[in-house]
Chain A
Amino acid sequence: MTALAALLTIVLPATFAALGIAVSGRSPVWAREWGRTGALGCLVAALVEAHGVLTSGQQARIGLLGSADLGSVTVALDLRADQLSALVAVAVAVVALCVQVYSGGYLAPDQSVAPDQAGAPDQPGATDQPASAYAEAPTRYPAYAATVSLFTAAMMLVVHADDLLLLLIGWEVMGACSYLLVGHHSERASARAAAVKAFLVTRVGDLGVLIAVVVLLAGGGTTSISGLIAAADTLPDGTLTAATLLLLAGVAGKSAQFPLHTWLPDAMEGPTPVSALIHAATMVAAGVFLVARLLPLFAAADGALAVAAVIASITMLGAALAALAQDDLKRLLAWSTISQVAYMLAGVAVADSAGAADAAGAADAAAADLAAAGPGILHLLTHAAFKALLFLVAGCVTHLVGSTLFADMGGLRATHPALAGLLGLGLAALAGVPPLGGFWSKEAVLTAAERAAREGAGWPAWLVLGSGLLTALVTGMYAARAYALVALGPPRTAAMHAPDGEAATAHRLPASMIWPLWVLAVPTAVLGLVLLAPPDLLATTHVDPLTAFTGAILSLAGVGWALSAPRLGTADLALALPAGVRGFLRAGYRLDDVQHALVVRPYRALARLIGAGDRDVVDAYPRATVVATRWAGLGLRRLGNGMATSYVGWAVAGALVLGLAGVVLS
């Protein structure tokens, strides 16, 4: 039963993706229903799987594609269903279902203007004729819904894979789907550029994963995850270090960690539900999941977890500061995702599997290994809930305002109190305000770091702890700043002025965009309760009261600072920063420029060089034959002068040569 459910979580979305394309043709309504049905089936399967895993234990080997004979090694393409995969699968399925339902309203066929479209029109004619500018979008909805389904299936494959090759397949399919979805509004040049950037940057990391798989295959002789975990202590040090560092590169790319994080803020060009999907459940979480899955390997390798801790510490604080300066709601949420994913990575990086095993008293080493990743995974789950909620709320706000800029927002609490309440709930969870889900998971991460630091894990744990506490303060500031800008203050656009006026009816939110918000609000609020009766995975996840108190105080300080800023005279907390610093942070530390200077321009120069070489060296020979042939033709053409006598002369010369050759050769 568990095995079948685990299989279905992958097969159902994939099947419905294919069906959505094949059966619905160009009808967006059918495509929408196919996509929702697939997501619903996937959620049911995930719930059944979770129930089975929690009641009757894990299923280690579930056959999917048989085994692949690669010559020197036979790869068993198996799945597994344990608590880690089941819990993440439930989160993915919930978010995917909400996104499918929400997208039906957000990208509705009968919708006259797409908010994203109206926000930044690319062509001059787009604003003049919104209907015609969006006219082709409905025909693309089947492809959109199918891609979301495929995205879900790929993430499910990553979650359940018991073999690195299978995991790699899902990993790469996710990359392709993210390219398609980020570039959904392909009529806009910025969307195309963002899609290409997301694809290329994550591809850099994916290369690391690919090489890591090869290294593990060469060093360990297997790609089976359970096999590798069991052999983690016996693998050669060089293999382990190389493989884990290469995997970290892939994790940094997929999870948008420094220095491969630059694609995520730009990926906001995609439709907002896609952002919710990528940030909350699928793509970004996959990196952390990979570390959690292979945690024994990372723990056995020298320095790999320290590197991960450093990366996470830099990323969480830096991204939080960058989020503070953003002037665009979606970009703020994107930076907050980078920061929160760094929390997860930190939670996994400070894991002490030996201590966790002692604490759990579990005989099963694998379960203990999993339990060590508990804080990070718990934050992944809560983050999935509140970040999906936040993005979907942001989509509603964008829908109302017609823009994603803070400058166009304000006064939501007066016009749409329920929406403002949901936004506040999500932001409070993001900031870690007790007793919401985000509070417990964040404090669990900080507690783990603090315990690791005190138990002698060394400077990485202290770094994580310090950075995490600072980030908690900054997170509270930017979360509250976003709330202040969106919900407080006077309404700034016509749609938000009069909730029952003419404009409001034109922009009435469809029901399909409302109830996913309430569905997501429940886990956002109460997911912390899971710690009362924790499954084995979270058995060692504690929240230390002192640490929790410190973190909560810092968060609340930040929240209070930002919320009180309007009363103190500055409507926007970011305006308190010096203009230069604000611009620097808003541009993401100008890392894009650095990237441009260090990678893009040398690469382009190299491409030009190769192009020139191809044109001037390689092609020179074919062109030389052209020139030679032309000159030979000109020369031979002079022979065809129309003089019969000269023709005869050449014939005689030929006959003489032949005769002479005959005499000489005979």
Chain B
Amino acid sequence: MTALDVVFALFASTAAAGALLAVTSRHVVHAALWLVLALGSLAGVYLVLAAEVVALVQVLVYVGAVVVLVLFALMLTRAPIGVRADLDAAPGRRRVAAVAGLATSALIGGTLLAAIGSTAEVPAGDGTASALGSATFTGWVLPFELLSVLLLAALVAAIAISRGRDADTPGLDDLAPGGTADRADPGAGSAAPAPAAAPAPATPAAPSRAVGPDGTS
């Protein structure tokens, strides 16, 4: 038991506890905050595993951007503040979900532990930025480029989806019951306002457009 083991145990237990609380909390905002705790602790775990750059990216993207996004989404969907009973499914379904979760844990954990045995240790590695950078831009350059295209596509898609009904192109609203797609003429329907579209399109559009830059930073 080295000091590194102790630190790892601390971070890992914090991350595990945060994850469990994030999926069981009956308070929406608390769940999001427990997620912050879990992902932050995971950054610590990465540090202990000598992956410094990964830890940095973890903090930057997850803790910085994703969680902020989640909190924004909660606000925009008028998530209730306080303890709510209707966040979870019925008890029967929850039991099924618990069985599925435990089975997943047992399968993955059992497989890994059986494969690892008792002798192997994580070797000391080189997680520095220069090593990672040279690896990324030599052997991994093609996936990297593909990833940039993916991010662009996600950016455009997020804008297109959330922009809503201020364009000629039909959005997801039109597929709702009572939406324009149920009418005989789609061309005429796109001009008429749908009765079910409650909020003004401008409000959710602004943070949605911010998804792209934040997510790709």
Contact = CB atoms under 8 A, between A and B. Distances in A.
A663 B93 CA distance: 27
A663 B107 contact: yes
Interface in A612-666: 645, 649, 652-653, 656, 659-660, 663
- Chain B, interface residues (CB within 8 Å), range: 10 to 19
B104 interface: yes
B131 interface: no
A649 B107 contact: no
Contact of A653 (B89, B100, B110, B111): B100
A659 B110 CA distance: 12
Tell me the interface secondary structure of chain A in the complex: helix
Interface in A447-465: none
B89 A656 contact: no
B100 A652 contact: yes
A652 B104 CA distance: 9
Given A649-B97, A652-B100, A660 B89 contact: no
Interface string B72-83: 000000000000
Interface string A291-309: 0000000000000000000
Contacts of B93: 645
Tell me the interface secondary structure of chain B in the complex: helix
Contact of B96 (A649, A656, A660, A663): A649
A660 B104 CA distance: 10
B57 interface: no
A653 B100 CA distance: 7
Contact of B100 (A656, A660, A663): A656
Interface in A417-472: none
B89 A645 contact: yes
B103 interface: yes
Given A645-B89, A663-B111, A656 B103 contact: yes
A656 B96 CA distance: 14
B94 to A, nearest CB: 11
Nearest to A656: B103
Interface string B109-124: 0110000000000000
Interface in A559-602: none
A656 B104 contact: yes
Contacts of A656: 100, 103-104, 107
Contacts of A653: 100
Contacts of B104: 652, 656
Nearest to A660: B107
Given A663-B107, A663-B111, A649 B100 contact: yes
Contacts, number: 18
A652 B110 CA distance: 17
Contacts of B97: 649
Contacts of B111: 659, 663
A505 to B, nearest CB: 76
B207 to A, nearest CB: 24
Contacts of B89: 645
Nearest to B104: A656
A660 B111 CA distance: 9
A665 to B, nearest CB: 13
B107 A659 contact: yes
A663 B96 CA distance: 23
A136 to B, nearest CB: 54
Contacts of B110: 663
Contacts of B96: 649
B97 to A, nearest CB: 7
A233 B121 CA distance: 107
Contacts of B100: 649, 652-653, 656
Contacts of A649: 96-97, 100
Contacts of A659: 107, 111
A187 B103 CA distance: 79
A529 to B, nearest CB: 98
Nearest to B100: A652
A660 B107 CA distance: 7
Contacts of B103: 656
A557 to B, nearest CB: 99
A663 B113 CA distance: 13
A660 B93 CA distance: 22
A652 B107 CA distance: 12
Contacts of A660: 107
A402 B123 CA distance: 119
A653 B101 CA distance: 10
A646 to B, nearest CB: 8
Contacts of A645: 89, 93
A14 B105 CA distance: 89
B112 to A, nearest CB: 11
A413 to B, nearest CB: 89
Contacts of A652: 100, 104
A591 to B, nearest CB: 75
A516 B66 CA distance: 113
Interface in A148-180: none
A352 B136 CA distance: 118
A656 B111 CA distance: 12
B102 to A, nearest CB: 11
A651 to B, nearest CB: 11
A303 to B, nearest CB: 88
Interface in A327-360: none
Nearest to B111: A663
Nearest to A646: B93
A649 B98 CA distance: 11
A649 B110 CA distance: 21
A649 B107 CA distance: 16
Contacts of A663: 107, 110-111
A237 to B, nearest CB: 86
B183 to A, nearest CB: 23
A430 B103 CA distance: 104
Nearest to A652: B100
A137 B180 CA distance: 67
A645 B87 CA distance: 13
B170 to A, nearest CB: 22
A660 B110 CA distance: 11
A656 B100 CA distance: 8
A33 B204 CA distance: 97
Nearest to B89: A645
A653 B96 CA distance: 11
A644 to B, nearest CB: 12
A645 B89 CA distance: 10
A649 B111 CA distance: 21
Q: Which 4 A-B residue pairings sit nearest by Cβ, starting from the closest?
A: A659-B107, A652-B100, A656-B103, A663-B111
15 contacts: A645-B89, A645-B93, A649-B96, A649-B97, A652-B100, A652-B104, A656-B100, A656-B103, A656-B104, A656-B107, A659-B107, A659-B111, A660-B107, A663-B107, A663-B111
Given A656-B100, A656-B107, 11 more contacts: A645-B93, A649-B97, A652-B100, A652-B104, A653-B100, A656-B103, A656-B104, A659-B107, A660-B107, A663-B107, A663-B110
Interface of A: 645, 649, 652-653, 656, 659-660, 663
